[in-house]
Structure 1
């Protein structure tokens, strides 16, 4: 705790120093000495219809000689003496706006936020509003949504502040058609992780999890986000490797006002916290920062071609020293855990340099420490029975026990932005460090009645640590020519990510049915084992875009051309070691702390380590991708009120792989061995067309078509076999020919059609109805390997063609029509309903037929894996700016979703609906502080994945109870 306090103190002192420096700069006008007796008015002027910035608007303070013109970002900055003023905004073909009662305070910045100007063809009287009535960024987001060429949704920083969400995952749950699986992975329109893409500042960013395509969204605190936009239909300048949606996270660059925000929160879950049965083990003294300092590192000698064993020719002393070079802790200890807590600091400002140039900076850091304790964690392996009348599933293996986790997330982002009259440059650096320490104790029951099973019971102890990091740099520039009509934008972003699982330990005692003591049995519970997993990945992404505004068919038009290039490379390795006994095992009592006592280690005893790593290692691979793309698109008005977008994107994608399968590793001759071999090589054209008919100024009808693609991940296009030591489940790379699978995993190509009607009302009110249709050519799904009856193994495979039909309904409605007492209340909701269908391969269909039951009619089609049949997000909200309070109840649920394809011996696995009801209250305290109260999982629902089969009772694949949690946070702005 002292170390945490020291880190907080240093961060606060650093933040205060920067803010004092920036405030001092704020009060100095270059070349004119001190302006201590002035304040500043800032804001952004946007087109009400398009939400695009308006260049050259005259901003004048009435009754004075002070004024300014907006730049290419629509921003303005006026220095003026303290007082209360009226500010006028005027520009040709736009209705003049006068903002009254703008209060300027000495040495401070008064922000008018987003000022939305309406175009006016005929002469109109000026529009007069008060400063408190100025349109906000949320209204600007609605305007952007209304005028966007493609179907999109989004949420802004202003909305984050209103609802009090601390991270991006909570905020995104409120967006139409979006669900957040496991609190961190974004699914759009119910489509699984494979079909959703995450980008940072419009550039690809990889996932922290090698098992996932999309990045964990909960790692982004909302204090560093400017907005998040979810694109649901394709346009040419976006990557084509998505189908559900692209989530783009834009970080802040030029803070409108000086920022020094400090926030902290605590969270309590009665099922999780202050539990004296919390399991843990000694790690390293840097675990609290999210990384291991080397305490769990693999001993150097373990990487030798041969390691010291009683039969290797090494001396007994060398064998003993080698065994003692490993940490001797193999089991957890019980202690009492604390509550969750977090804190964050954000500093930012902008000031003038070199005359009228502007320099902005943003620095933010956050720390989260979460403790989870699942006292009834369950895993199950079940099978169907032979016989047309045997409906019930039989268990092969069940595991029940306790799992405790301590998760640390440390994040930091620093950025600077520099703006001239015609250009803007931006540089950011981001670091995310995540450490997850877990310990478990499970009772394993293996049945001898199920095919391929030996029948045993065991007591298993699991210790695991995973550390993951992302380091991202972003350098970009935007330049304007010919007024703002020509825009050149360039971006370069390298990302370096690592995933290390150092020293995963599993110790399982096989329990005898007699009074004999527990023992290790390689054919049952297994011998004690240790794993080290390493992954390093680099991503280099660059893109260049040119946009040109012009006239076509007597209307405004925009042509866009651009190109991008990405290079990705991943190195992956798993090293495994087992404890063996040279002779009989020593007498054991079932306590894992006894195993590596000195009297049990060879030569005093019989215990030694054996390597499970042949040379070459089948669980080691290196893969790389060269990915080049170019596009052209045109936006124009084809006929009055019909906005048209046509685009074409071409992508060349080449993936190479170096690796081998287990057979080649053992024999050196037979089997499969690849040396930088091409495993994917394709050039694809991706057309996109979007038509928007403006029925009225606030009502649209949209129709769009696009072609997209889903590609296998590095892990999926490999020979790797990756064991989950807790559940004992094995992932097999898709290059393995297993059973009826030929090992030729390839891309999925998708055609998409969208239709949407939308109506926009005042104050962000909205009603929209959408329909969509998608076809999938060779979709990739994770299937249970039928021929592996003795173990639980899974593999990604191309299955039969598929299609998806869907509909979405979204509404946001203020309840003031019920009377003045309801003027602060609003209801909002979105509902997505989907019908999906996959045409089975002959192999899957025949496997299902082989276990067909009486009364069952096996069809050759089924639900698509990963596709939720429905999503519901709903909220009832009270938002009263007069007292600074925002509160509401929010509900989210996904329908029953197929997650693992079974058939034949193994039934399908479905994710059960998780009904999440959440309460949130955010209350301002004066002008500087706010408090946030949140209650999650009010319904106390469980998180379950279940085996389901015809007329059979559902059985558990995995199950845990997250419990109810309450969090309280405070934020103070200096």
Structure 2
């Protein structure tokens, strides 16, 4: 109650002093780029002043007018900022104030306030002086350019590639080797099997900065190799934030399309979750569900059948246009406006909503095999699927936080909730070739209905404490995350054609109608503490860091399967899925007499529980052995234990002698030490030569280290957990350990201009790749496996340059680009090499090495931007392409699967209006080149054949935002 009274009185005090204005700013060390604590900030020739807090921030209230500020700190040159304009009840923000070190008496440095507000010097200094190879983008730059979301801003970070419009990858390495953290803490994304967080849910005005570390140091988690992206959200907004936004998008191939496929959902689909319409019927979990075979009374069988939703067919309707809404507000309050060193309270909140449609009328899936004859080069198809898929995707994001700080202590609490619902409907024709190995031969038409709802709730409680006199700093964080993913009532209904006018459901061909319920829930809890000590080594500054952390994860997963059976024969007038569950076709009505049969054993082989305990400790020391040469030595220890409860199909079917059953058994246990060495030689104030060595790790996910068998109902492809043994696989999946070497030259200029060249080498011990299972020839099944040792060599060149050196007329234009070239190599296992040799073609010479799965041979990012701060107009043209990439490893009968290069070209334009530029209009065009996303089978001297083809089309979007 006392604290509530203080807050209320503070709000009243704030209103009482509303005729005054406020100056806020952040002060940095011009040498290291770090914030400075305790800097004196005074309005020149007055006694009005304050000092910077533990974040290097200050706030001054004064009457309207134009003032000069004087900043002073022991052993630093004083800085005078001239012409700081203060308006009544408004905040003037000075983003980057830098103090230069001084060993002799020099005159004060004088700058103008306008120059201070429009620079990104602090970020450049931080990148140049960082102990790691660092790239990023600041809040000031995001505000200047006008990016609406974090994913738009991330496109401007060197070496970053955006996948699926939301996930961030670094240096062309896939999700397994990239990682995203939020406010320095591990957080799973909406897809719990990804390392990357969905980035399109963060409004840019809530982000303080986004930094990408391209090499490892001991204080970082060890499970990344390509890059670690950390997103820092604001806790104390520099000025009041109160904005609303709305947008819409149009794709000619998708929106206002009368052929769009959908099906009836629940009343809360528009909020991203099902209202119970698709819920599993209560009696379906009974060990003996009522069926005619079990002798259940007829009324119970009928009631059970009718408890299932009767809709099985996709229907056509007109799709709407995409739309999005956003709202955010935040501010900071001085809890005692009379005191220059008063405690401060900061708060921030954001709500975002997106409703998007996608429709592809020409989706293709293919399953191909090699010919057995070594002189027959062309592949033959096993199964071809062609059809159309309609999708509605709803994403709701909420982020809120409150923070309290004094000059040397800060406490922070943030909460985030994401809710995502995807409704999908498809119609397909299926052609299976009897002449292919393991195939029966049939033609079918299928209706597929799906719904996936995912949610993620994250909390962060943290504290930072600075002991200025002794040089110690303590930072602690507690962060639990609760996530879930549910697929309620996946429905597949495939009529098999025996002739043009004779259709039926055939379990050995298109299959009987099936329904699947999948449910996953996961807890991820992190606790960590970092301690830093600043001290002197010789005459140079040095930093000692050490800390501990513990991460606990637990996942529960279950799949329940039900299929339609017929008590007698079948007779269908036409292949119409929407008519299958009509009352006249249900038991006991003949001839079809439909009833439901459970496909679930007890215990369920497709249910598991897994948990992880990961305890870590680290020690790192940064010293300068001599002038201009910095050394950062560190080691991290991680004790990782993963346990699993689950069983295979044999055990679940009653074969306890030969089947496998795990009861909270350890499936992965390791104690690893991860050393890191970073050497930095400053060739000049803005030019560095860096060398780094580190050891990192990539671990299998819960799904990969399980007995789970997960069916994709549209493509009919099956994922198998690695615990299943085969003749060429022992069922023991282990971690991948990676040695990393980096060498980089970098040159920094003003206005975020830079140029750098890097070479890097990575050595992989037992990398994990997704492999087609050779033994499963009648079905299409994949499994994650350790393959042979691998290595890659890479070269990276990047630059960012303003074009005013060409002509003053181009002063608002800049270009940036980075090119990564990689040569990767995997030493095949004996089993893989032997399988490939068995199907070697005449003239083909198979070596015992191949490229790595998931690694692109090249990545090109390029951007041309225009930014006129005075007029409020900004525009950008951004291009990205990844080279042909091995996606799934084949072997034997089955060819390798590659992803084609996707040439992504996007245009964005935004214009700010009004005296204070508070109104902004955005216009974007995505996929300007109208490229298709294609994966294909590749075999020696054969024409490439389709694995997947999707056409995202070209999308035009417009948005409007207003900041009060």
Q: TM-score, normalised by structure 2?
A: 0.97
CA contact (8 A) 2:22 2:60 kept: yes
Alpha-carbon distance in 1 for matches of 2:468, 2:876? 48
Question: 2:608 corresponds to which residue?
Answer: 621
Cα deviation for residue 817 of structure 1 reads: 1.2
CA contact (8 A) 1:472 1:494 kept: yes
Cα deviation for residue 441 of structure 1 reads: 0.5
Question: 1:13 corresponds to which residue?
Answer: none
Alpha-carbon distance in 2 for matches of 1:146, 1:770? 15
Question: 1:509 corresponds to which residue?
Answer: 495
Alpha-carbon distance in 2 for matches of 1:135, 1:638? 36
Alpha-carbon distance in 2 for matches of 1:448, 1:849? 25
Alpha-carbon distance in 2 for matches of 1:127, 1:557? 27
1:190-229 alignment runs, 5 A limit: 190-229=172-211
The range that moved more, 954-963 or 94-103, is: 94-103
Deviations 1:252-301 (A, max 9, x none): 10000011011111111111111001111111100000000111000010
The range that moved more, 257-266 or 151-160, is: 151-160
Alpha-carbon distance in 2 for matches of 1:457, 1:121? 84
Question: 1:358 corresponds to which residue?
Answer: 344
Deviations 1:598-656 (A, max 9, x none): 11110124100010101111000000011101011100101211111000111100000
Alpha-carbon distance in 2 for matches of 1:170, 1:256? 22
Alpha-carbon distance in 2 for matches of 1:618, 1:684? 32
Secondary structure of 1:134's aligned partner: helix
Match for residue 837 of structure 1 among 801, 825, 828: 825
Q: Are 1:952 and 2:942 an aligned pair?
A: yes
Question: 1:427 corresponds to which residue?
Answer: 413
Match for residue 567 of structure 1 among 552, 570, 593: 552
Alpha-carbon distance in 1 for matches of 2:903, 2:615? 42
CA contact (8 A) 1:210 1:715 kept: no
1:223-262 alignment runs, 5 A limit: 223-262=205-244
Deviations 1:847-896 (A, max 9, x none): 11111112211011111001111111101111111211111211111111
Cα deviation for residue 402 of structure 1 reads: 0.5
Secondary structure of 2:707's aligned partner: coil
1:543-562 alignment runs, 5 A limit: 543-562=528-547
Alpha-carbon distance in 1 for matches of 2:8, 2:118? 25
Q: Are 1:787 and 2:769 an aligned pair?
A: no
Alpha-carbon distance in 2 for matches of 1:804, 1:136? 41
CA contact (8 A) 2:167 2:197 kept: yes
Alpha-carbon distance in 2 for matches of 1:822, 1:197? 37
Question: 1:932 corresponds to which residue?
Answer: 922
Q: Are 1:697 and 2:697 an aligned pair?
A: no
Secondary structure of 2:751's aligned partner: helix
Alpha-carbon distance in 1 for matches of 2:239, 2:458? 26
Cα deviation for residue 671 of structure 1 reads: 1.1
**Cα distance change on mapping 1:730 and 1:421 into 2, 3 Å:** same
Cα deviation for residue 668 of structure 1 reads: 4.0
CA contact (8 A) 2:188 2:194 kept: no
Cα deviation for residue 484 of structure 1 reads: 7.5
Question: 2:807 corresponds to which residue?
Answer: 819
Match for residue 271 of structure 1 among 253, 276, 282: 253
Match for residue 904 of structure 1 among 875, 883, 892: 892
CA contact (8 A) 1:22 1:349 kept: no
CA contact (8 A) 1:893 1:916 kept: yes
Alpha-carbon distance in 1 for matches of 2:507, 2:834? 35
Cα deviation for residue 135 of structure 1 reads: 5.3
Question: 1:867 corresponds to which residue?
Answer: 855
Cα deviation for residue 22 of structure 1 reads: 9.7
Cα deviation for residue 137 of structure 1 reads: 6.9
Cα deviation for residue 48 of structure 1 reads: 2.2
CA contact (8 A) 1:534 1:574 kept: yes
Alpha-carbon distance in 1 for matches of 2:358, 2:853? 29
Alpha-carbon distance in 2 for matches of 1:111, 1:441? 56
Q: Are 1:454 and 2:440 an aligned pair?
A: yes
1:74-223 alignment runs, 5 A limit: 74-134=56-116, 138-223=120-205
Cα deviation for residue 25 of structure 1 reads: 5.1
Q: Are 1:713 and 2:701 an aligned pair?
A: yes
Q: Are 1:742 and 2:730 an aligned pair?
A: yes
Cα deviation for residue 23 of structure 1 reads: 12
CA contact (8 A) 1:68 1:77 kept: yes
CA contact (8 A) 1:202 1:248 kept: yes
Alpha-carbon distance in 2 for matches of 1:307, 1:185? 43
Match for residue 591 of structure 1 among 554, 576, 582: 576
CA contact (8 A) 1:782 1:901 kept: yes
Alpha-carbon distance in 2 for matches of 1:24, 1:690? 51
Alpha-carbon distance in 2 for matches of 1:961, 1:122? 65
RMSD between aligned residues: 1.6
CA contact (8 A) 1:176 1:831 kept: no
Q: Are 1:473 and 2:473 an aligned pair?
A: no
Cα deviation for residue 410 of structure 1 reads: 0.2
Alpha-carbon distance in 2 for matches of 1:275, 1:358? 53
Cα deviation for residue 764 of structure 1 reads: 1.1
CA contact (8 A) 1:305 1:615 kept: yes
Q: Are 1:847 and 2:835 an aligned pair?
A: yes
Alpha-carbon distance in 1 for matches of 2:748, 2:12? 42
**Cα distance change on mapping 1:397 and 1:166 into 2, 3 Å:** farther
Q: Are 1:530 and 2:515 an aligned pair?
A: yes
Question: 2:3 corresponds to which residue?
Answer: none
Q: Are 1:384 and 2:370 an aligned pair?
A: yes
CA contact (8 A) 2:52 2:407 kept: no
CA contact (8 A) 1:470 1:497 kept: yes
Match for residue 415 of structure 1 among 401, 407, 417: 401
Match for residue 670 of structure 2 among 672, 682, 688: 682
Deviations 1:341-375 (A, max 9, x none): 11111110001125611000001110011000111
Alpha-carbon distance in 1 for matches of 2:949, 2:238? 47
Secondary structure of 2:861's aligned partner: strand
Deviations 1:807-843 (A, max 9, x none): 1111011111112111111111111111110000011
Alpha-carbon distance in 1 for matches of 2:205, 2:9? 24
Alpha-carbon distance in 1 for matches of 2:374, 2:354? 53
Cα deviation for residue 26 of structure 1 reads: 6.2
Q: Are 1:580 and 2:565 an aligned pair?
A: yes
CA contact (8 A) 2:496 2:505 kept: yes
Alpha-carbon distance in 2 for matches of 1:973, 1:915? 35
Secondary structure of 1:518's aligned partner: strand
Question: 1:406 corresponds to which residue?
Answer: 392
CA contact (8 A) 1:27 1:36 kept: no
Alpha-carbon distance in 2 for matches of 1:731, 1:415? 39
Secondary structure of 2:205's aligned partner: helix
- Structure 1: tracts of 5 or more residues without a match: 1-20
Alpha-carbon distance in 2 for matches of 1:715, 1:137? 46
Secondary structure of 1:523's aligned partner: coil
Question: 1:318 corresponds to which residue?
Answer: 300
Q: Are 1:758 and 2:740 an aligned pair?
A: no
Alpha-carbon distance in 1 for matches of 2:141, 2:492? 46
Cα deviation for residue 63 of structure 1 reads: 4.4
CA contact (8 A) 1:115 1:136 kept: no
Q: Are 1:68 and 2:45 an aligned pair?
A: no
CA contact (8 A) 2:19 2:63 kept: yes
